[in-house]
Amino acid sequence: MLLYIPKNYTPSLDSEKMELAIKQLKDDFQAELTHQLNLRRVTAPLFVLSGTGVNDDLNGTERAVSFPIKDMGNRRAEVVHSLAKWKRMKLGAYNIPAGYGLYTDMNAIRADEELDNLHSLYVDQWDWEQTITQEDRTIEFLKSTVKKIYQALKTIELKLHGKYPHISPTLPSEIRFFHSEELLSLYPELSPRERETKVAEKYGAVFIIGIGAKLADGKKHDGRAPDYDDWSTPTSKGLRGLNGDIILWNKVLDSAFEISSMGIRVDKKALLYQLKEEGCMNRTELDFHSQLINEKIPLSIGGGIGQSRLCMYFLKCAHIGEVQASLWPEEMIESCKANKILLK
């Protein structure tokens, strides 16, 4: 069982106030994100058809929860892992112009998760996507978008503090940027997770750029599917990648805390390169990929922001089960209960 118990932990709010604070945080952040990125809300699917290439493959090893559809000749559907590709298709379907986009409430089931303080079978996040131009496909545009999201986080943190003064703000004034290759040079003896811990603890909030491509040591900082984020396009100084993760320092858990994975999405050139790099050229025949190759899908930037993780971070919770209802091993439930961590 993977479980971290903070010393002398006490919940920041009682159960009733916790529920009210969760709603306030979600409402406030949606409003701020919409304002910062010019987004509108759309309704999202819980499942998509198998074999279309629309579902997110994450690291390429996670199994999707699937089922046969009786009234469609037992054709199989699968619960979404995320909506990375579905959102991009909707930008085109709704004719959303550059500089504007959409967001939705994404709910998923990830049966292969290793359950711990941060990981649950149930995933809830704001999936967002914004139409961009060819000129926007730069590292500068990526950073400017990250700063807007970070501003939204800062704003809701202050609003929460106004409502509950004993929950003090902890985010630094600005977010710092590091390329995964830079972290390798700084800490060659450490693992990628340990590198993230080092910089997150030092700076409080960081964005790690370039996740998915092999680094100078021949290893990846972390895995990324080859068909949504652009992790291969050269930027500057021999660095590659137009994607990354927003990582905060979590003082309750004394650990790095990923709250968002995002990036500029692949264009035709990047898609073909990344599919070849990962040995997935057979995907070019799938619906999503063929539309992208034929340039029928808009260029975009997008990502996911964990709803329960956001609430967990700002409400100073020790376990994600304090802000969402899911299933947990009995041993974990009892260990948490013994340490004032009450799982829903």
Domain boundaries of the chain, sorted by first residue: 15-337
Block residue for tokens 């073909």 = 272
Q: Which of 245, 265, 324, 326 is catalytic?
A: 245
- For the question of residue 110 being annotated catalytic, the response is yes
Q: Which of 32, 56, 196, 322 is catalytic?
A: 56
- For the question of residue 245 being annotated catalytic, the response is yes
Q: Which of 30, 120, 125, 274 is catalytic?
A: 125
- For the question of residue 189 being annotated catalytic, the response is no
In CATH, the number for domain 15-337 is 3.30.930.10
Q: Which of 82, 180, 255, 261 is catalytic?
A: 261
pLDDT of residue 82: 80
Q: Which of 32, 57, 88, 110 is catalytic?
A: 110
- For the question of residue 308 being annotated catalytic, the response is no
What DSSP line would sit under 73-103, residue for residue? TTEEEEE-S--HHHHHHHHHHTTPPTT-EEE
Helix (H) or strand (E) holding 246: strand 243-250
Report how far residue 124's alpha carbon sits from residue 270's, in angstroms, rounded to the nearest whole number: 29
- For the question of residue 125 being annotated catalytic, the response is yes
- For the question of residue 19 being annotated catalytic, the response is no
Q: What is the pLDDT along the chain (344 residues), one digit of tens a residue?
A: 689 999 999 999 999 999 999 999 999 999 999 999 999 999 999 998 888 878 876 655 678 888 999 999 999 999 988 888 899 999 999 999 999 999 999 999 988 889 999 999 999 999 999 999 999 999 999 999 999 999 999 999 999 999 999 999 999 999 999 999 999 999 999 999 999 999 999 999 999 999 999 999 999 999 998 999 999 999 877 899 999 999 999 999 999 999 999 999 999 999 999 999 999 999 999 889 999 999 999 999 999 999 999 999 999 999 999 999 999 999 999 999 999 999 98
Could you tell me which of 105, 34, 81 has the C-alpha nearest to residue 308?
Answer: 105
